[in-house]
Amino acid sequence: MADATEQELLEDLLDRVADALDLDCEIEVVEEDGELRGTLHGADLGLFIGRHGQTIDAVQHLAQRMLAAAAGEPRRVVIDAEGYRARRQEALERQADEAADEAVRTGSPVTLDAMTAPERRLVHEYLRDRPDVDTHSEGEEPDRHLVVEPAR
């Protein structure tokens, strides 16, 4: 369970980033199911999310590293801004379904665009319950991508 110090550290980090970006937002930090979740609420948070989620992912990585150093052990941290994570998950699941359907229909592997490691993991886990397809990752960062192919 997160102690007040972890929550305060995360809130302070998010406050500093929001101030640096001159964002008008509210910051909420809660613990849910063993993970510390920091959420920004406000209008026009695109700058915080960044192109393809690069900024929000970088802030999340920084928060994980900072809290792990403070606690002496890894800490699951999720940073969100006005539902970005849920919208991105829905988009990735839609792409995964389309790729899986195409792979089954054509009998050929389908390569998705390059994704971050957490996004690839989400797609792997999402398609794991489909017995008609297999997934694997190929390439080197930052161009590592996921391949969906008919099950063998």
Instruction: Domains for the chain: give ranges and CATH numbers.
Output: 4-82 (3.30.300.20), 87-150 (3.30.1370.50)
Distance CA 104, CA 27 (A): 44
Q: What is the mean pLDDT of the chain?
A: 94
pLDDT at 151: 95
pLDDT beyond 70 at 107: yes
Our CA dihedral for 49, 55, 60, 64, rounded to 10 degrees, sits at -170
Reported residue count of the chain is 152
pTM of the model: 0.83
Distance CA 112, CA 127 (A): 13
pLDDT beyond 80 at 4: no
Distance CA 1, CA 32 (A): 9
Digit-coded pLDDT (tens) for 51-99: 889 999 999 999 999 999 988 888 899 999 999 999 999 999 999 999 9
